[in-house]
Amino acid sequence: MAKILVTGGAGYIGSHIVNLLGSFDHEITVYDNLSTGRRESVVNGELIVADLENLDTLEKLIIDKKFDACFHFAGSIIVPESVTDPLKYYNNNTNNTLNLLNLCIKHKVNKFIFSSTAAVYGMAPGGVCSEDMQVEPINPYGRTKLMTEWMLEDIAAAHENFEFVILRYFNVAGANVDGKVGQCSPLSTHLIKIACETALGKRDKMFVFGDDYDTPDGTCIRDYIHVDDLAQAHLDALAYLLKGGKSTLCNCGYGHGYSVNEVLEVVKKVSGKDFIVEKAPRRAGDAPKLMSKAEKIAKVLKWKPKYDDLDLIVKTAYDWEKNLK
């Protein structure tokens, strides 16, 4: 049994990890300010509603609970907002993470699992991203996540008992296959969520940004990973660290992708609804193709994904969205 701190565990991804953690004999404490998360998304463990900025509350909790491990999901995640309000991102993603890491080192929370992102790869020449390739984020969001990766590497080098797993997520999508949790995020920029909202009439129409990329149908290609498979990767990372595994960094994706048009076709098929999709100009900074090289996570963390199926990803997202108030 391990004592686990989950920052941001009321959010989209964190809630799926908390859901899966419930099948194990771990003591779970979620720390979340509910800025984008929801109380009812925390289906296991104890929820502490507080901000990472509230260092007294956070330190007292860490002292009281003597956590063995921390999953760090809390953060701000909207790329366009990070461009217009970079300070929010440097404060919430970099500064708050630095403060959390200070407390982890001070109170010997020595296993740390961090949500990073394919955004650290930037334009990714060639479109297939391997963990050892050059990272060149092109927006403040990606830079703040990369800064945390660097902090973790430097801290682990200096503190021999501290070990981390960094997971670089590709395009996370879908909802829990048992329908217990799903994506509630306001102002989401995720394609599958937006398409499901449009199919359900929650939006009048949606946009495809650019159809003249150098891809077979001209629209961007991304590597969509089911959120329950992503959650399993976190459990594998925890098991790896608890067994004495050394610090490591892995991509989290399936290693192949779908174009925007292919995804929209699947949403129309699964929902049985046609909806208005308008063409819009390319957005600055959208790489034509972003897919993971997916071998390392299988080898190091023994991750075996179960839901690599776009129809299923879309169906779980659509069913969740239909019931979402």
Residue positions annotated with a catalytic role:
141
139 contacts 117 by C-beta, under 8 angstroms: no
- End-to-end CA distance of the chain, in Å? 36
Minimum distance of ligand NAD from residue 272's CB (angstroms): 26
Rounded distance between C-alpha atoms, residue 70 and residue 50, angstroms: 16
Closer CB to ligand NAD, 8 or 127, in the complex:
8
Q: Label residue 2 left, alpha or beta by phi (over 0 means left) and psi (-120 to 50 means alpha).
A: beta
Closer CB to ligand NAD, 10 or 104, in the complex:
10
Part in contact with ligand NAD (CB under 6 A); list of ranges 11-19, 155-163, 253-261, 274-282: 11-19
Part in contact with ligand NAD (CB under 6 A); list of ranges 73-81, 100-108, 122-130, 254-262: 73-81
Q: Of 21, 61, 70, 77, which lies in the binding site for ligand NAD, with binding defined by CB under 6 A?
A: 77
Q: Of 67, 121, 169, 224, which lies in the binding site for ligand NAD, with binding defined by CB under 6 A?
A: 169
**Taking the CA atoms of the chain, what radius of gyration do you get in angstroms?**
19
Rounded distance between C-alpha atoms, residue 171 and residue 281, angstroms: 21
Q: Of 3, 27, 51, 203, which lies in the binding site for ligand NAD, with binding defined by CB under 6 A?
A: 51
Enclosing H/E stretch for 183: none
Q: Of 52, 113, 124, 291, which lies in the binding site for ligand NAD, with binding defined by CB under 6 A?
A: 52
Nearest to residue 270, comparing CAs of 221, 315, 205?
Answer: 315
Question: Is residue 286 involved in binding ligand NAD (CB under 6 A)?
Answer: no
Question: Is residue 71 involved in binding ligand NAD (CB under 6 A)?
Answer: no
Closer CB to ligand NAD, 99 or 273, in the complex:
99
Checking DSSP bridges between strand 69-72 and strand 3-7, what pairing results, if any? parallel
Rounded distance between C-alpha atoms, residue 146 and residue 154, angstroms: 12
Minimum distance of ligand NAD from residue 16's CB (angstroms): 8
- Contacts to ligand NAD by CB under 6 A: 8, 10-14, 32-37, 51-53, 73-75, 77, 92, 96, 115, 117, 169, 172, 185
